[in-house]
Structure 1
Amino acid sequence: MAYELAQVNIGRMRGRLDSPVMRDFMDGLAVVNAAAEAADGFVWRLVDGEGDGATGFRFWGDEWLIVNMSVWTGPEALRAYVYGTVHRPYLRRRREWFEHLQEAVTCLWWVPAGERPTVQDAEKRLTLLREKGPTPEAFTLKAEFTQPKA
């Protein structure tokens, strides 16, 4: 069986999506998402049907948590995008738009190829990472686990 890498990333917004503090983030969303979709190794991303992103989803029922989810061919492809020329400037500015949280905000896990994770799947995986640290079921780019054996 083949596997793909699912990722979730959450952020606690410093203001409402239509507020001045979030303006540059929202203005850049289409460019960042287009770069992801064009990146080598990109498979899928969560969208809500209300524009270019997934801003309509809530994580753990919290209206201040914004969620990003995607699936990639593997950690190398995800890493290349995250630290690439289009996404990296936004990554550097994240504290302008999102509060610094002590707990993990990013989680990775392997899914069977073709499977698309739900927000509920991501909530469970991020909770697991926060409770147990990196495991084969929930890990990070800094503490990654290889895909399951077929």
Structure 2
Amino acid sequence: MDYRLVHFNCARPMGKFDFSNEFVQVFVALLPRIFKDGDAFEGLIHHDHGLRCPDGSWRGFTNAFPYPQEWRAPDISTLAVWRSLEDLKAFSHNGRTHPPGMRRLAQEIDRSDGPGFVMWWAPKGARFTLEDGWQRLQHLRQHGSTDYAFSLDQPVKCPVAA
């Protein structure tokens, strides 16, 4: 069996989630370029994006606004399937848009809930939703790195093909 690396990450901006927030302005401006770069990157097989709202519902970026003023900011989320951990690292650290954009926004992220990034190995062709990724992240936050959900700091080797 052939395996792929799946990753889920989320970032919750500090402050209000509206266009007066510089994080929101920059993020919305960068998003189309990051998606275009992802689509062109050979090692990225699939990616999906959305907003996890405080009530547990999911929204796409096209229906993000108006956002309820009484809610804290959503978790801006990505689920992606990669050929390998090396491909994920290459895109994240060497890409044209993602690295500089995320470095610019890094200080504007609320990290109070713990890690915002989780990975796991899945058989080639397996499908996952953003909610599946959210649940894996909760597992990592509660149990630390395991074969089920692991971090970049404690990666799990790809299972050997049977």
TM-score interval w.r.t. the shorter chain? 0.7 to 0.9
Paired with 1:3 and 1:34, the residues of 2 have a C-alpha distance of: 25
Paired with 1:41 and 1:59, the residues of 2 have a C-alpha distance of: 32
Query: 1:128-147, aligned counterparts within 5 Å?
Result: 128-147=139-158
Which of 42, 45, 56 is matched with 1:43 structurally? Answer: 45
Query: 1:1-150, aligned counterparts within 5 Å?
Result: 1-14=1-14, 15-21=16-22, 22-46=24-48, 54-58=49-53, 61=56, 64-86=74-96, 87-101=98-112, 103-149=114-160, 150=162
Shift of residue 99, structure 1, vs aligned partner: 1.9
AA in 2 matched with 1:95: A
Q: 8 Å contact 2:52–2:74 — kept in the other structure? A: no
Shift of residue 30, structure 1, vs aligned partner: 0.7
AA in 1 matched with 2:76: I
Paired with 2:92 and 2:84, the residues of 1 have a C-alpha distance of: 13
Paired with 1:85 and 1:11, the residues of 2 have a C-alpha distance of: 19
Normalising by structure 1, what TM-score? 0.84
Structure 1, unaligned stretches of length 5 or more? 47-53
Shift of residue 101, structure 1, vs aligned partner: 3.2
Paired with 1:116 and 1:59, the residues of 2 have a C-alpha distance of: 25
Question: For each residue in 1:98-133, what CA deviation from the matched residue of structure 2 results, as whole angstroms up to 9, or x when unmatched?
Answer: 223351100000111111211221122111111111
CA RMSD in angstroms comes to 2.1
AA in 2 matched with 1:55: G
**Cα 1:59–1:38 shift into 2, 3 Å:** farther
Query: Which has a greater percent of strand?
Result: 2
Paired with 1:88 and 1:59, the residues of 2 have a C-alpha distance of: 27
Shift of residue 59, structure 1, vs aligned partner: 7.5
Q: 8 Å contact 1:17–1:26 — kept in the other structure? A: no
Shift of residue 94, structure 1, vs aligned partner: 2.3
Largest Rg, 1 or 2: 2
Normalising by structure 2, what TM-score? 0.78
